[in-house]
Chain A
């Protein structure tokens, strides 16, 4: 599974950080979300699907 975020869309709502804190983070000076682990294992799938659904601007994509 590979994760990408469309940084033109991301508005740092932070919903993905709440849904999948091991995968997404927003540091103090970040203008867009940071992906901590772009190719995580299957055990994270549920959390990441949730993050994708929750993102208010549909910026997150999952491949595979």
Chain B
């Protein structure tokens, strides 16, 4: 038997992540290993009115690929997105429909509307603008000398970059992403004092998204919001008003916080790992994509997402019934030795990297190329303009079992 026994499993407990061990990327890697080895289809029960009742948890890399890709057996459109009861994009539970909660033809149609704003080619055109933001952010950091990396760098860079991609006017960005931060961390009272604040933030975002849609109909731009409100050849809108609201909420929540999280865990790991830091210095003029994907892997910004079984079937000896919820524990799949060479090591030049942080199926992250470019440019700028980047205090994590935010990462930089 392995070191962890079943009763100690606390994989969906927010304190597990709030009190995570910085030496294992803040993740309960031993618990994940136990699940993968001993309970690859694990029945998790919850006893909290804010959460769903129970879920089958898959944790092996290969099984996550399968659940994510087999949308016919594991549907995304039958309610719930993660273990929370309330998610603004869950139309089965009071939210609005969005890509991530739609399957089949309607999913494809929504994706088609937006995909052109996210292809690798389109994203490459944003490089110049992203460089400017990275420069401004690093200027600010150098002025400060010692600062909270999460806020000074990892918050501000995605906010501006995504503001551009989405088409949120500069003067609205702070409030727009502020609402998102509230509903992205509903259980951390340092960020969101009460659940009423969560509901208020969702409400504000929905109202704002209608205003923004109106603005884009009047004054179209080369941005995602304009695509969302566009009409097809027959003059019919491509998305319903509900889909517009849902997808704004999805884009807002999927984009900024996750990228910030990936950057922060990545920065933290570099400061504890001399070899990786030296490798970054060697490659700082043109960072290879491998290091960015490796940061996204160890960060696992969303620990999991859920699907619903569409019929009775068996998985690893367990009887899954139609309507049962199946959770893909991405964070565990990212450390599966069946899929990775020495998964517990951060390897900036890792070539075989089948990580599941962006998903792997038809819902695979639409913003993956944007996120990767933002991270590449930000780290290039930061490294090129500093001679050293050192920790100035311990890391602390957001209290949440879904989004793996870093709360504080004190850093001191020395200019070149």
- Whether A and B are associated in the same complex: the answer reads yes
- Name A residues whose Cβ lies closer than 8 Å to a Cβ of B: 11-15, 17-18, 25-31, 56-58
With both beta carbons as reference points, the residue of chain B lying nearest to A21 in the complex is identified as B120
B119 adjacent to chain A (CB < 8 Å):
yes
B289 adjacent to chain A (CB < 8 Å):
yes
A28 and B122 contact, CB distance less than 8 A:
yes
B364 and A25 contact, CB distance less than 8 A:
no
**What CA separation (Å) do A17 and B115 show in the bound complex?**
14
Q: List 27 A-B contacts (CB under 8 A).
A: A11-B108, A11-B112, A11-B115, A11-B362, A12-B112, A12-B115, A13-B115, A14-B118, A14-B119, A14-B369, A15-B364, A17-B119, A17-B120, A18-B120, A18-B369, A25-B121, A26-B119, A26-B120, A27-B121, A28-B121, A28-B122, A56-B360, A56-B361, A56-B362, A56-B363, A56-B364, A57-B361
Give the size of the chain B interface in residues (CB under 8 angstroms). Answer: 19
B151 adjacent to chain A (CB < 8 Å):
no
Contacts of B115 in A (CB 8 A): 11-13
B116 adjacent to chain A (CB < 8 Å):
yes
B111 adjacent to chain A (CB < 8 Å):
yes
B69 adjacent to chain A (CB < 8 Å):
yes
A14 and B120 contact, CB distance less than 8 A:
yes
**What CA separation (Å) do A7 and B69 show in the bound complex?**
17
Among B111, B121, B369, which residue has its beta carbon within 8 angstroms of that of A11? B111
- Name B residues whose Cβ lies closer than 8 Å to a Cβ of A: 69, 108, 111-112, 115-116, 118-122, 289, 359-364, 369
**What CA separation (Å) do A30 and B112 show in the bound complex?**
10
With both beta carbons as reference points, the residue of chain B lying nearest to A29 in the complex is identified as B116
Contacts of B69 in A (CB 8 A): 56-58
Name the distance in Å between B130's Cβ and chain A's nearest Cβ: 17
**What CA separation (Å) do A31 and B232 show in the bound complex?**
14
With both beta carbons as reference points, the residue of chain B lying nearest to A56 in the complex is identified as B364
With both beta carbons as reference points, the residue of chain B lying nearest to A57 in the complex is identified as B362
Contacts of A31 in B (CB 8 A): 112
Q: Known interface pairs A26-B119, A26-B120. Does A18 touch B289 (Cβ–Cβ under 8 Å)?
A: yes
**What CA separation (Å) do A19 and B118 show in the bound complex?**
16
**What CA separation (Å) do A13 and B111 show in the bound complex?**
9
